[in-house]
A and B are shown apart, each in its own frame.
Chain A
Amino acid sequence: MELIALAFMQRALIAAILTGLVAPAIGTYVVQRRLSLLGDGLGHVAIAGVGLALLTHSSPLPVAVVVCVAGAVGIELLRERGRATGDVALAVLFYGGLATGVLMAGAAGQGAGALSNYLFGSLTSVTASDLVIVAVLGAVVLLAAIGLAPQLFAVCADEDFARVLGLRVRMYNLLIVVLAAITVTTAMRTVGLLLVSALMVIPVATAQNLFKGFRAGLYGAMGIGVLVALSGVVGSFYADVPPGAFIVVLAIVAFALSWPISSLRHRNRPLASVDEVESLPHEPTPEHVHVHGPNCGHRVVEHGDHVDYVHDGHRHVVHADHYDEH
């Protein structure tokens, strides 16, 4: 593998591993908070940071981190105030970020083309100092996403219950968007600012199809993230295309493959659960000549981990050689 010998590829691969781990880790919470498009918006805000860095001749990554985190705090404060005005305010903030980024890059004499390395990732642009920042910030995000998993999980699963537990829900909500902002900016060299949101969301959705439970889903999503990020970087080297595009297409392929696996698992679930049947009074349906099945024409209702068939206003469930009323 001659690509391992290339110094820029070594840096790109390490950055890919870090991004692949970090983006789905924080993405797990972002998806659960139904903020799937937050990453996308934060990516737009980070573009303003890149533009500012180009204009001031500074290093793009640190400037983008600062601008994006500030934007994230602003977004969360707007979100807290109320959805109606927040919606428009978010749009202004996001597109304002994109427009000012392009404007500042243009003023710096770089043109919009100079931004494309940051929008879709670029293998050759990961510098050694970038890598240090990505590693340090990545470690911070991972530490919080895994170390505070019980608290963040509680806040995402049921905010009211978390408040009654005495958790500082507001602080944890703010933490999630700040961590997302850091993730978005550190991913700009590999997946790029326009595509990073996909790496935060799609591996999470894939893992939910493949794994049961929150923690298994979290680690599963991180595993899938590393796999597609590494494969995407290697693939983009040979195909000579921006790595972000390759990574995201692979993530979508993995998601598509996870669908049939998920539906197979559901089909193999036992028809009736022992616990549930025991807890209900046993009431066999009298004289039932019709045989219920997937295409029998009767409406199917999910009931716990089995299905009932709606028949003349009753609900029937298969029990040995007869049907029970549910």
Chain B
Amino acid sequence: MTPVAITNLGVSLGGVPILRDVSMVVEQHEIVALLGGNGSGKTTLIRGLLGLVPHDRGEIDLFGTPLAQFQDWSRIGYVPQRASVSMHSTTVRELVSSGTLSTRRPFTRLGRTRRTRVSEVIDRVGLAQKADDAFVHLSGGQQQRVLIARALVSSPTLLVMDEPFAGVDLATQQRLADLVGSLHDEGMSVLVVLHETDVFEPLLDRAVVLREGRVALDGVLEPHHGHGHETEPPGRTVRIIEEVRPWN
């Protein structure tokens, strides 16, 4: 079942149209990058498809179910921008544990199975030794890994990431990309908002480029050739060889 199918989406914020007639899909087991300059509507598209901002027009289907009827939120792992976490006194384990709430009823305890799962995903992102540290005392890359762990707790099959590389150094970007790569190997579909394709490039199946709220390009990326490019620095531009969708 197609994890994300968006048809003719229109979103306005405060009366200003942000997205116009956007259509795109994320197929099963695909890693799709959402690219575009500042203000192109990338984050709004992510927020729209998750129902965080209302849309005026178009349809959004998540795993074949219209957004308004979609209930099965444990299938989606959302990794927002780091700045969205406002409770800095929390520990890594507490923050990651909140990922269990999509399947947990109020007034119930965490339970052993979920507790084990929380430890598992913290270990998976390489932060076992930091599990009881305060979130605020971690480096940017480590905080990003915490947010990925939190999204992974419910064993989702679609990961939606909003600029996971913002403010993260290159070595850590590579580690994050490796992590996403190994999740993809296990069957995860990924929609990731990026400023530049950079270290993610070898992993990407497709890129959707937004410009002024419209889909400017939607295409398959040229196979990666390592760092052997001579004419242009690697990872700075998207090289699309097969245009799936022409200019809007």
Contact = CB atoms under 8 A, between A and B. Distances in A.
Interface of A: 32, 34, 147-148, 150-151, 153-154, 156-158, 160-167, 208, 212-215, 217, 269, 273-276, 279-281, 303-305
Nearest to A304: B139
A282 to B, nearest CB: 11
B137 A161 contact: no
A142 to B, nearest CB: 13
A163 B52 contact: yes
Given A158-B80, A165-B73, A214 B139 contact: no
Interface of B: 47, 50-52, 71, 73, 76, 78, 80, 84-87, 89-91, 94-95, 97-102, 104, 106-107, 110, 126-127, 129-130, 132-134, 137-139, 141-142, 150, 169, 171-172, 175
Given A166-B71, A275-B130, A280-B171, 4 more contacts: A157-B98, A160-B50, A160-B78, A161-B84
A160 B175 contact: no
B89 A165 contact: no
A262 to B, nearest CB: 11
Contacts of A208: 89
Contact of A154 (B98, B107, B137, B141): B98
A167 B101 contact: yes
B67 to A, nearest CB: 12
A151 B100 CA distance: 10
Given A147-B106, A151-B106, A153-B94, A214 B142 contact: no
Contacts of A273: 130
A158 B85 contact: yes
B98 A279 contact: no
Contact of B107 (A32, A147, A160, A217): A147
A158 B94 contact: no
Nearest to B104: A150
A275 B130 CA distance: 9
Contacts of A165: 73, 98-99, 101-102
B101 A154 contact: yes
A150 B106 CA distance: 8
Contacts of A217: 89
Contacts of B139: 276, 303-305
